Amino acid sequence: MFKLKLLSLGCLICSSGMVQADVVKDAQVQVDFRNFYMHRIPDTKPVPEFEHWSQSASLSIKSGYAEPIGPVAFGLDGTVMHAERIIKNDNELVRDGTMPNDPVTGKQEQDQTQLGLTLKAKIAKTEVRYGQLMPKLPVVHIDHSRNLPTTFKGLMLESNDIENTKITAGRITRIQARDRDDYKKLSLDVNKTGEFSDGLNVFGLDYKVNPNLDASYFYGGLEDIYNQHYVGLKHQHKFNNTTRLITDFRVFDTQDAGSSLQGEIDNQAYNFMSMLSYGPHKFGLGYQQMSGETAFPLLSGWTPAPFLTQWGSISFYKAKERSVQFRYDYDFAAMGIDGLYFMTRYIMADHIKHPTIDDVKESEFNIVVNYGIKEGLFKGLGFQYMLIKTDFENSGIKLDEHRFYTNYTYKF
């Protein structure tokens, strides 16, 4: 299997050269290296402590478009992503969501490889992509918090032919989780019945109302499981050259649909986030309210929901949960250190619906430090440190997590 994957990598490289030389203009070839370390430290038992350290290398080949056949121009994109573990856990049966676990022994694998091909076609300002997809939409989103990302298979259309409007439509039929090297049918993160959906239908509109106001609507229909509607508004107000306020208002409404293969789903998520920028400083305030009888539904395969204001390690999407966020950012470019950025935030939540405990509470504290080299010999090299402290108050579980990322991108 690994020889086949290496052969595929060679074919992609060779075809990239031929396409670039003879058929397609404006091809882009990029390699990305990521070193990822994570150490999770609980202060309670039997929650396991574990470390993960791995290195990945990814090749991305994005073709331009060939000469049109009639009004349609075609292209082909390809990716090869491979990760290798550097250390082993004391408990090899741990499932940390980072690398695949052997289906028989349960032990974590030593390496992981993901391949992807995407055929694309373009008419005017409308592009259709078929094959591997990496959407970043309110109703379906990739996860890249580990070494290799969660990806999807399907068909997606994106059109910018109408002024100030972007139309998105598609159908996703398979998901490849960040800790797997194969594709599976879609279901929910907590698959209560063992049932799967035939596909997720997606439709969306992004509209620029005026230079300071953006509006969006998205629909995500997971066949025979749920229908989800999303409405978003983003407003920015510039007070002067150094001060501006950006506010996001977002609403999700999700109900079970069709055969209701996963039972009742009834969730409404209301949230807003305001960020006040003053020179190199940013001050943020966010609020999120979960209504309805069930939690916000998540797709299986480590799919995040970053369009929820309070998305984090805890995620704050439980039934009836209400949460508030305080955030502060600083850009060290103001002190002459270009590329260094700091963020900290605190999220606290209560009122969580629980069958036996009243008013369940939880909280999360984050510190994130980023440094990216923008010029010179080491341009494309970046570092990130992340501290995550979580407290599940009523269960008595507290976790500290440290993450270190080293990223390097080279564009040919």
| Beta carbons within 8 Å of 169's beta carbon, 6+ residues apart | 156, 157, 202, 203, 204
CA–CA distance, 343 with 128 (Å, rounded to integer): 37
Note whether 16 and 10 are within 8 A (CB). no
| Helix (H/G/I), strand (E/B), else coil: 49 | coil
DSSP track, 133-198: E--EETTEE---SSSS--EEEEEEEEE--STTEEEEEEEEEEEE-TT-SS-B-B-BSS-SSS--BS
Instruction: Examine the pLDDT at 274 and tell me if it is beyond 80.
Output: yes
Within 10 Å of residue 358's Cβ, how many Cβ atoms?
Answer: 9
CA–CA distance, 283 with 277 (Å, rounded to integer): 7
**Lowest mean pLDDT across 5-9, 47-51, 407-411:** 5-9
Note whether 93 and 25 are within 8 A (CB). no
pLDDT of residue 106: 83
Query: Which domains does the chain possess?
Result: 2-411 (2.40.160.10)
Q: Which residues are paired to 40 by β-bridges?
A: 50, 401
Instruction: Examine the pLDDT at 20 and tell me if it is beyond 70.
Output: no
Within 10 Å of residue 231's Cβ, how many Cβ atoms?
Answer: 14
Instruction: Examine the pLDDT at 7 and tell me if it is beyond 50.
Output: no
pLDDT of residue 240: 95
CA–CA distance, 94 with 69 (Å, rounded to integer): 52
CA–CA distance, 89 with 93 (Å, rounded to integer): 9
Write the pLDDT tens digit of every residue in 187-240. 999 999 999 999 999 999 999 999 999 999 999 999 999 999 999 999 999 999
| Beta carbons within 8 Å of 6's beta carbon, 6+ residues apart | none
DSSP track, 312-363: SSS---STT-EEEEEEEEEEGGGGT-TTEEEEEEEEEEEEE--SS-SSEEEE
Write the pLDDT tens digit of every residue in 60-86. 999 999 888 999 999 999 999 999 999
Report residue 97's pLDDT band, with 50, 70 and 90 as the boundaries: confident
Q: What does pTM read for this prediction?
A: 0.91
Average per-residue pLDDT in the chain? 91
CA–CA distance, 373 with 338 (Å, rounded to integer): 8
